[in-house]
Amino acid sequence: MAKCVLVSGGAGFIGSHVTVELIQAGYDVIVADDMSNCDLTCFEGVKKITGREDLPFVKMNFCEEESVNALFNDHQIDAVIHFAAFKAVGESVAEPLKYYGNNLVSFMNVLQAARIKGSAVLFSSSATVYGEPDILPVTERSPRQSATSPYGNTKQICEDMLRDSVKAYDGLRGIALRYFNPIGAHPSALIGELPRGVPNNLVPFITQTAIGKRECLSIFGNDYPTPDGTCQRDYIDIVDLAKAHVCAVSRMLDGKMKEDYEIFNIGTGKPLSVLELVNAFQKVNGVRLNYRFAPRRSGDVTAIWADPSLANRELGWKAERSIEETLAAAWAWEQKLANK
């Protein structure tokens, strides 16, 4: 019988891509989401891509302990992937309690239920835990730095909650995946990123500028100590990122873990500057982008990229899609939205 994976926050950007890859790898999936930061567009897209019109969907808030327990009681959940969290860095600074309340309580409820039911836990963490690294690229053993936002702090605390729980409770096991910068969209253009309001992240701002929804892209800072003065990041294709989750789930469920709590960097290992990314977007899509240099954005680190060799070796996973394919997919998705 196929193993069952619960995807909390499964109607969002990363969750929907992960759901597709899990289904295509033969898992049964239950998608759960409170729809507070998305609509049904991506869930419908997932059903189309996979041909699974009957894909189970539960509308629920993971902060409600009784709903979480009921879900775990009603289904045999072999693994849970937890995405259900707030993710806007700036908003988390303005409303920290909203972030601590939601992101920590929801994960605590998932951990409690997983502990009782013996489900494996995959937590979606972030490269933000490394702060401004002294040595590049960062490995999983690079030191974590104090978080610069409540959002970042919730990622660190949730990692610690998972680590401590695995240590304390027999039978509980978990993996934290530290994502670098997830971008792009599914090649079908049926699912992708749907930011509410003005996008915070670079690629949705680029595609919205290219389509004419935004007048001009501001490149935040051109005086950083990097080769071209703009920040460097490790942009990871969303489909590649989603596939890493399938590898991590199978590692947990097929008894391949070396420790009961493991951490993996999920990135390409290749740095790209903001300017390089903008130029690649223009070149591959044949569009001209209106941009200007603007002051640095507070809280941005100068440069960060992954050493993904542990994930390459242990998960048998590697980033495969080129930045050109990724940026073409992001543009196809934006155009699809505009034609709707």
Residue 100 designated active-site: no
CA dist list (Å): 111 to 38, 63, 116, 121, 248: 24, 12, 9, 8, 17
Residue whose C-beta lies closest to ligand UFG: 231
> CB of 181: closest distance to ligand UFG in angstroms?
5
DSSP code per residue over 84-102: -S---HHHHHH-HHHHIII
Q: Quick one: 288 or 340, whose CB is closer to ligand UFG? A: 288
- Residue at token pair 């660190």: 156
> CB of 17: closest distance to ligand UFG in angstroms?
15
> CB of 204: closest distance to ligand UFG in angstroms?
8
Q: Quick one: 193 or 260, whose CB is closer to ligand UFG? A: 193
CA gap 264, 151 in Å, rounded: 20
Read off φ and ψ for residue 80, nearest 5 degrees.
-125, 135
- Catalytic pick from 27, 99, 130, 151? 151
> CB of 217: closest distance to ligand UFG in angstroms?
6
Q: Quick one: 236 or 337, whose CB is closer to ligand UFG? A: 236
What sign results for the dihedral spanned by CA atoms 262, 20, 22, 68? positive
Q: Quick one: 101 or 229, whose CB is closer to ligand UFG? A: 229
Half-sphere exposure of residue 276: CA atoms within 13 angstroms, side-chain side: 16
* Residues forming the site for ligand UFG (CB under 6 A): 87, 89, 126, 128, 151-152, 181, 200-202, 205, 217-220, 231, 233, 274, 297, 300
CA gap 4, 196 in Å, rounded: 31
Q: Which residues are catalytic?
A: 151
